[in-house]
Amino acid sequence: MSIEVTLLGTGSPLPNPDRAGPSTLVRAGDATLLVDCGRGVVMRLAGVGVLPVALSAVLLTHLHSDHITDLNDVITTQWVMTTAESPLRIFGPPGTQQVVDAVLHMLTLDQQYRLDHHADLDYRPAVDVTEVGPRDTFDVGGAQITVHETDHRPVTPTVGYRIEHDGAAAALAGDTVPCTGLDELCANTDIYVQAVIRADLVKLIPNQRLQDILDYHSSVEQAAQTAARAGVKKLVFTHYVPPLMPGQEDEWRAQAAAHFDGEIVVADDLTTVTAD
């Protein structure tokens, strides 16, 4: 298949023993791309036989903690598994360099411990950061990547990535409500991965902090409407709030099916979807 998408982590900021934090692996051509770095991402990468040293690039959709909490693990594990200085490429919205610099500073003591202990490790982690914005394009391993604006305000800027290879296209949207940029990102894609909430369930929870999430995440219905409007083939759910419980899959799918007649994937961690 020309594009393969694996949901590494389908959880949310709410800790869940069965779901790692938001992270997605995309394999297209010679590119192996990690989109976001939620909690447990390196363990989930190992679960599909991909170690950080094999990553072509990391793509960050935004800088909310649940999407970058294990960036430090990706950076460190990639570094200690290299045999020569091999920069880890990271693409993300403005602010990404600041975050990476802070992560590297946090790891200063750890780096020195390892340098002191291993004679063959005589270089520090090399991280090559490129900050991107809407309509930027770049190529990684033969995959063409286009950056699109999304809407997760007050978190700003936020972006989604359209990954194309050999006539297939996948949209990795991150956290966003419906917007023009999201429609452009998803237009006629084979696979559209969207963080979703069950607005009907969240509204029943008497907690203001949870109520606050309603205005900057797509509901299941909104994601389905975006997919229908954009002519998407496969709609893939991730980042469930509240947590998707076993046996509820058909409820989530039915809400979407009322608005979208394409394939709906209610994904668990390590679910893989391919472009036909």
Rounded Cα distance, 31 and 217, in Å = 29
Q: Which residues constitute the domain of residue 196?
A: 3-274
Q: What pLDDT does 254 receive?
A: 97
Q: Is residue 1 scored above 70 in pLDDT?
A: no
Spacing of C-alpha 249 from chain mean position: 21
Q: Looking at the 3D structure of the chain, how many domains does it have? A: 1
8 Å CB contact between 264 and 221? no
Provide CB contacts within 8 A for 28, sequence distance 6+: 2, 3, 4, 141, 142, 143, 163, 164, 165, 166, 168, 170
Spacing of C-alpha 193 from chain mean position: 9
By CB neighbour count within 10 A (0-12 exposed, 13-18 middle, 19+ buried), where does 97 fall? middle
For 139-186, how does the pLDDT look when each residue is reduced to its tens digit (9 = 90+)? 999 999 999 999 999 989 999 999 999 999 999 999 999 999 999 999
Q: What pLDDT does 183 receive?
A: 98
Catalytic residue status for 261: no
Q: What pLDDT does 215 receive?
A: 84
Rounded Cα distance, 162 and 186, in Å = 7
In this structure, are strands 168-172 and 127-131 parallel, antiparallel, or unpaired? Answer: unpaired
Rounded Cα distance, 58 and 35, in Å = 6
| Strand locations in 113-183 (E) | 127-131, 137-140, 143-149, 159-165, 168-172
CB atoms within 10 A of CB 48: 12
Q: What pLDDT does 152 receive?
A: 94
For 29-80, how does the pLDDT look when each residue is reduced to its tens digit (9 = 90+)? 999 999 999 999 999 999 999 999 999 999 999 999 999 999 999 999 999 9
Rounded Cα distance, 92 and 62, in Å = 7
Average of per-residue pLDDT values in the chain? 95
Q: What pLDDT does 43 receive?
A: 98
Spacing of C-alpha 25 from chain mean position: 8
For 90-116, how does the pLDDT look when each residue is reduced to its tens digit (9 = 90+)? 999 999 999 999 999 999 999 999 999
Q: Give me the CATH number covering residue 217.
A: 3.60.15.10
Q: Is residue 121 scored above 90 in pLDDT?
A: yes
Active-site pick, 66, 70, 73, 190: 66
Name the 3-class secondary structure at 94: coil
Q: What backbone torsions phi and psi does residue 243 show, to the nearest 5 degrees?
A: -55, 135
